[in-house]
Amino acid sequence: VLGFDNNNTGTALDVSSDLRSDYEQASESIARAFAGDAAGVAALVPKSAPADNEGKARSFIRALAERAYRRPPLDSEVDQLWNLFRQGTSFVGGTDGWKAGVEVVVGAVLQSPYFVYRAELGSGENTKGFALAPYEMASRLAFALTDTMPDDELFEAARSGRLKTADEIRRQASRLLNSDGALTSARHFHEQLFQVASFDRIEKDATAFPSFSTELPQLMKEETRLFLDDIVKSGSGATAILNSDVAFVNAKLAKIYGLSGTFDDAFKKTTLDSKQRRGLLTRAGFLAANADTRNPDPIHRGVFVSQVILCKELPSPAMNVPPVPASATTTNRQRVEAHTGKGTCGATCHATLINPLGFAFESFDAMGQHRAKDNGANVDASGEYQELAAGAISFADGVDLSQQLSRSSDFHQCYLSNWLQYLWGRGHRDGDEEALGGSVEASQEGQSIRDALLSLVTSNSFGRYVP
């Protein structure tokens, strides 16, 4: 995957011969099953369809193709599909001409490039970029905001030509952003951006963490999903991702967080101690995923913050670097500093770009539990980071760092830049920062995530295609 899994650039959409063959088999299997569903087929025959076989078939073909291609089919396309329809029994056998015709046509439509791909041909000079046509704009809006095809209202806006106007585009985008589909799409985005799938690999040493169970990684994933969903649903802005003390926990997670009260298997909305926990980076999922089986991993925690939260480019790691040596007499931070800090080969990268950000979370052990001691010594989670646009910052711990990053232009620029790539369906390009316009400043000032997305998809850049 290049960037996000909805990447629509040519490199990401290459189809091998094996994939084409598998897709062909899947399409024909689906077509065969659908053709046997009389009620399903009848639902795609318009009530105004003529009674004769050809008229009824053409009406079915036009209705099917309009939804599959996400635009009205050309008359020539309907003619081609009708020619297939009337030869149905020659291709799939049987004596029921209508059923065979439906099977062949559905199989053909599901393999059409106009179904598999979203064609954006627009109008005007296409070597320098062009405005999207109404049906193309409808598809781009729908897939960007809801991860699926346009609904009936959006189709009607395209059909009537209203989707050519900025006011109608804003109205439709606002409507979609308040739908359940938008919440599902936002969850899909957040899960990829914050690498929630990596929680599946969480494992802990049974001696060091006897309370760990194979169920915990899935609970941590669900907690993270619910936390991020709530930020979007509540109308909060991006700042809350790094600063909110709201949490969703059940009995097992409550133990990790040291919460008192009554909890059961169900997830319950609660608040955490804001002096110990604020935002995603102080939650068990992120902390446990970026740790080994016994100790926190400040290097990977720091890399995550640098790359995912701040969009900083890091040099490639050196080859064949030995692991941090174990010790029963020194703290985790002391061991990592001795191995990669000042005076080592990692002094120019780890000591300044990675380690300080990772050390901020030394107050949390490998399972994400808060701790004050490490190997009998007081935990040191303080540090300084010099790579923010506004200058160097000093912090006492992970909570302090999270709060400062939540207000930084670096975080808001990074977060919205990732959204831009997801909404546009392509990787990062030079000039994308300019397309963000005033969105970064508005996000810093508390603009809701929904309003930030509305601003992005109603920009001139979103409605244009640049080769």
Q: Using CA atoms, how far apart are residues 219 and 225, in angstroms rounded to an integer?
A: 10
pLDDT for res 1:
45
Q: Give me the pLDDT at residue 345, please.
A: 62
Looking at the predicted structure, is the pLDDT value of residue 255 above 80? Answer: yes
Number of Cβ within a 10 Å radius of residue 465: 15
CB of 367 closer than 8 Å to CB of 212 = yes
d(CA 464, CA 132): 6
Q: Is the confidence at residue 125, as pLDDT, over 80?
A: no
Q: Residue 324 above 50 pLDDT?
A: yes
**Dihedral sign, Cα of residue 428, residue 279, residue 387, residue 237:** positive
Q: Which residues contact 458 (CB under 8 A, 6 or more apart)?
A: 166, 169, 170, 173
Lowest model confidence (mean pLDDT) among 166-170, 185-189, 326-330: 326-330
For residues 244-264, one letter each, b for 16 or more C-beta atoms within 10 angstroms of the residue's C-beta and e for the rest, the string is: bbbbbbbebbbebbebeeebe
DSSP 22-89: HHHHHHHHHHHHHHT-HHHHHHTS-TT--SSHHHHHHHHHHHHHHHHHTSPPPHHHHHHHHHHHHTHH
To the question of pTM greater than 0.85 for the whole model, the response is yes
Find, among 61, 51, 141, 72, the residue nearest to 103 by Cα.
61
Q: How many CA atoms lie within 13 Å of 437's alpha carbon, on the beta-carbon side?
A: 13
- Dig out the tokens for 230 from the structure: 């709530």
pLDDT band at 351 (very low <50, low <70, confident <90, very high): confident
CA–CA gap between residue 171 and residue 185 (Å, rounded): 19
Instruction: Centre a 10 Å sphere on the Cβ of residue 296 and count the other Cβ atoms it contains.
Output: 28
Q: Which of 181, 186, 210 is nearest to 196 (CA)?
A: 186
**What pLDDT score was predicted for residue 464?**
82
Question: If DSSP codes are grouped into helix, strand and coil, which group holds residue 271?
Answer: strand
Question: Do residues 369 and 283 make contact, with C-beta atoms less than 8 angstroms apart?
Answer: no
3-class secondary-structure state, position 465: strand
pLDDT of residue 433: 77
Residue 391 or 8, more confident: 391
Look at residue 10 and tell me whether its pLDDT is greater than 80: no
Structure confidence at residue 93 as a pLDDT band (50, 70, 90):
very high
Q: What is the mean pLDDT of residues 256-266?
A: 96
Q: What is the pLDDT of residue 134?
A: 94
* pLDDT above 70: percentage of residues in the chain: 96
Q: How many CB atoms lie within 10 A of CB 180?
A: 8
β-partners of residue 269 are: 248
Asked whether residue 2 carries a pLDDT value surpassing 60, the answer given is no
**Each residue of 201-232: b (16+ CB within 10 Å) or e?**
ebebeeeebeebeeebbebbbbbbbbbbbbbb
| Cα three-residue angle 52-115-158, rounded to 5 degrees | 80
Of 7-11, 102-106, 148-152, 193-197, where does mean pLDDT reach its minimum? Answer: 7-11
Percent of the chain residues topping a pLDDT of 90: 83
Contact 372, 379 (CB under 8 A): yes
Write out the two tokens for 195: 């690498």
Type of residue at 258: G
| H-type alpha helices, 161-238 | 166-177, 180-193, 216-233
The mean per-residue pLDDT over the stretch 58-71 comes to: 97
Question: What is 380-448 written as a DSSP string?
Answer: ---EEE--STT--EEESSHHHHHHHHHT-HHHHHHHHHHHHHHHHTS---TTHHHHTTTHHHHHHTT-B
Work out the mean pLDDT of the chain and round it to a whole number. Answer: 93
Mean pLDDT of 312-338: 83
Res 329 pLDDT > 90: no
